[in-house]
Amino acid sequence: MRGKRRALPALVIAMWMASQAFSPMAERAVAGGAPQQCFVLDDCSGVSALPSADDCEADDCACAQQIECYVRGQEPAILWPVLPGGSLEINRNFFHNRFVETRISPDALEDWVAFRDAPGRPASFAHGTIVYKQGFFPSDEDVGAPAVPAQSDYLMVKIAGYCPDGSSVGNSCLGGDWFALELNNADIGILEAGLVAESAKSTRCFACHAAAESADWLWQLHSFRRFP
Ligand code: HEC
């Protein structure tokens, strides 16, 4: 996550805080007919832990903001290990950016390698595991090479007991315990820096990630296990 962050005018923040304080949750999702936008926080002081499942079920945006703050403080783009096979290169898959680089919270790297090397074994990461992926644009001169970092960040965070909105089917949950969010991280074209896509609703992510259930909903792990 970049250091430079969109500074929202104080008035907008004040209006947003007032709307959060005074409108019931159900109304907040639809402000003037359009979904309310969710931006990352400028000030992360006071955030020292990931949110709980209850926090995330109560408010997707507040959950995403807390996650983003927590992860930002860890400087993942510098300090976290790149996943085996997740280094910056052209992305041949049908979704996400043309170039991606994928990292994992350090404690979970060993599990990733163990699950990768045991394809028959259902994968299940520890709660608190975070997968962090950055998207990149190519340069104008060479469309085949990544050049402009941080078009988007994608985060998947495993939170004990969480189930994405509307994803529970009987006793099982599409998307396991993962909260997923996409962050627009640069003022490029239509993207606004700091905007959490789709107001932080992670359900749409699992339309695709559902196919990777046996790899704990993680596509890259699923691909390695199926096509080593
Ligand atoms: C159209 C299908 C599709 C959708 C929708 C989708 N993904 Fe993915 N995702 C993939 C594929 C394929 C990969 C593996 C290739 C890659 O890393 O880009 C992947 C990989 C990832 C990874 C790296 C870890 C892993 O699973 O391998 C993260 C993190 C991620 N996606 C987050 C998200 C988030 C957050 C959303 C929703 C905002 C989302 N994805 C929506 C298809 C999808």
**Which tens digit of pLDDT belongs to each residue from 93-106?**
667 777 889 999 99
Residue from 98, 116, 125, 208 to probe ligand 1 pocket by mutation (most atoms less than 8 Å from CB): 208
Asked if pLDDT for residue 169 goes beyond 80, the answer is no
For residue 7, what pLDDT is reported?
Answer: 39
Q: What is the pTM of this model?
A: 0.84
Ligand 1 atom 19: residue of nearest CA: 219
Model confidence over 108-161: pLDDT tens digits?
999 999 999 999 999 999 999 999 999 888 888 888 888 877 688 999 999 999
Which pLDDT score, from 0 to 100, does residue 34 have? 62
Mutate to test the pocket of ligand 1, among 209, 213, 214, 218 (most ligand atoms within 8 A of CB): 209
Q: How far is CA 149 from CA 70, 74, 153, 173, 189, in A?
A: 21, 18, 10, 34, 14
Q: How far apart are the CA of 95 and the centre of ligand 1, in A?
A: 7
Q: Tell me what pLDDT residue 147 has.
A: 80
Higher per-residue confidence, 141 vs 7: 141
pLDDT, the chain, mean: 82
pLDDT digits (tens, 9 = 90+) for 27-83: 344 445 566 799 999 999 989 999 999 999 999 999 999 999 999 999 999 999 999
Per-residue pLDDT at 33? 58
Q: How far is the CA of 9 from the centre of ligand 1 (A)?
A: 32
CA of 17 to the centre of ligand 1 (A): 31
Query: What pLDDT sits at residue 9?
Result: 42
Ligand 1 centre to CA of 52 (Å) is 23
Worst-scoring range by mean pLDDT, 20-29, 78-87, 165-174? 20-29
Confidence check: pLDDT of 24 > 50? no
- Ligand 1 neighbours, Cβ below 6 Å, are 91, 93, 95-96, 100, 102, 131, 133, 154, 156, 180-182, 197, 204-205, 207-209, 218-221
Residue of the CA atom closest to atom 20 of ligand 1: 219
**Residue with the nearest Cα to atom 9 of ligand 1?**
219
Separation of CA 96 and ligand 1 centre (Å) = 6
pLDDT at 93: 67
Specify the pLDDT at position 212: 93
